[in-house]
Amino acid sequence: MYINKPYPESLTADQAIKKIPAGSNLWIHSNCAFPELLVNALCKRISEEGESLKHINIYQLFTFQKAGYASAGMEKFCTVKSLFTGASVREAVNSCRADFTPVFLSEIPKLLETKKIPIDVALIQLSPPDKHGFCSFGVSNECSKIAAENSRMIIAHINPEMPRVLGDNFIHISRLNYIVEESFPVSTLPMVSDKISEEEKKVYERIGKNIASLINDGDTLQMGIGAIPDAVLPHLKAKNDLGIHTEMFSDGLIDLMKTGVVNGSRKTLLEEKVVASFVIGTKNLFDFIDDNPLIEFRTSKFTNDPFVISRNDNMISINSAIEIDLTGQVCADSIGNRLYSGFGGQVDFIRGAARSKNGKPIIAIPSTAKNGKISKIMPLLTSGAGVTTSRGDVHYVITEHGIADLFGKTIRERVELLISIAHPNFRDELTQKAKELKYFW
């Protein structure tokens, strides 16, 4: 039991990082909970001690903040092992200075629990303890709670600015080995729709409208971050009693909760709760989820388990892609052979929604990229591109030009349907390529 264990030693960030043994496998808390204070101290130690650290491995999920350990030259002293590649390590991965592991988010906890990925030290960021001594993992639970629980040492930044988010999202302070108590801004990320052009907004507006046409009152939704979720949410204002079971969400959900559109009253699993594993967004979002009893954070082992997801009747999963071929194969993690992101939870939720009673798995994309110069619906996937979601898993594909229901369709029928929702400028070319590939005559 935790009750009789001593309070962990409080140190400066530099002092705490000095406690990491040479040759350790580290876990870095990810997303907006990225522990910048600890990471800065870690990079300082790597730069100062170099080879005496006997090479350390750094495991992480999505990060967008500056990660000095992924800088050129640091690979001599540490190896970044990315499980989902974000902006901070993408260049290192594609330059062969860092490693990438293709894995479903739902299965990463198993790697940690079985010690296939053995974690020696977890670097995490937590809220201050409550009166019972429990600290919240705040804005990002994902796999970090499980990584910490299965590590040999936990070094935590106890940050008064970290929201206290409820659910299976706590660890007792006695479980921590060393703590750094300091106020520090929690990382934020603005809505993607704030960064796109007016012309792009019109395209996403039509995509959002098409997606909303498949959503009925009482449905439970999964959607992530990006222009497509931002576009669909305004079209849901006339819906009723929607629920949320998702890997993550962003600011756009706040208004739907405040107006009662999202209330979870018809959910068949964790009724009335907004279930998620992490959030990415602004300070406004963090304030909204802080100590909010309607928000239920769980680990990715729960939120992303397809069998758990399928227990939600009328489950709607909304995901996107980099490109789709004419048979329905989806690439969402690479541009050719260059890694862009990772598997994440796309397949988890597509399969969970497909198993759900009246569920609808959706892949939504704009029909073109690079200002209309290339089609995102391709005859074949780009050479070297990985298949994130198989054509056997794909049901609905949506663009600004319409909806293609591929479930149960033959290859020929799929090709015809996907060409019909491609951009008109590319339909003749796609038709000719399909004939050359003997998809039809």
Annotated catalytic residue: which of 36, 142, 247, 296?
247
Number of C-alpha atoms within 13 angstroms, CB side, residue 152?
12
- Asked if 269 and 245 touch (Cβ cutoff 8 Å), the reply is yes
Sort strands 170-172 and 220-223 into parallel, antiparallel or unpaired.
Answer: unpaired
- Asked if 141 and 299 touch (Cβ cutoff 8 Å), the reply is yes
Sort strands 243-245 and 274-276 into parallel, antiparallel or unpaired.
Answer: parallel
Q: What is the DSSP string of 333-344?
A: SEETTEE-S--T
For residue 265 the two structure tokens come to 């009253």
Cα dihedral 166, 172, 176, 181 sign = positive
Q: What angle do CA 56, 80, 88 make, to 5 degrees?
A: 135
Kind and range of the H or E run holding 375: strand 374-375
247 is catalytic: yes
Which residues have C-beta within 8 Å of that of residue 1, sequence separation ≥ 6? none
For residues 231 and 194, what is the distance between their CA atoms, to the nearest angstrom?
Answer: 11
Nearest of 413, 253, 275 to residue 352 by alpha carbon = 275
Kind and range of the H or E run holding 154: strand 153-158
For residues 78 and 153, what is the distance between their CA atoms, to the nearest angstrom?
Answer: 19
For residue 205 the two structure tokens come to 């507006």
Residue whose token pair is 């963090």: 286
According to DSSP, residue 67 is labeled -
Exposed/middle/buried for residue 373 (C-beta within 10 Å: 0-12, 13-18, 19+) = exposed
- Catalytic residue numbers, as ranges: 247
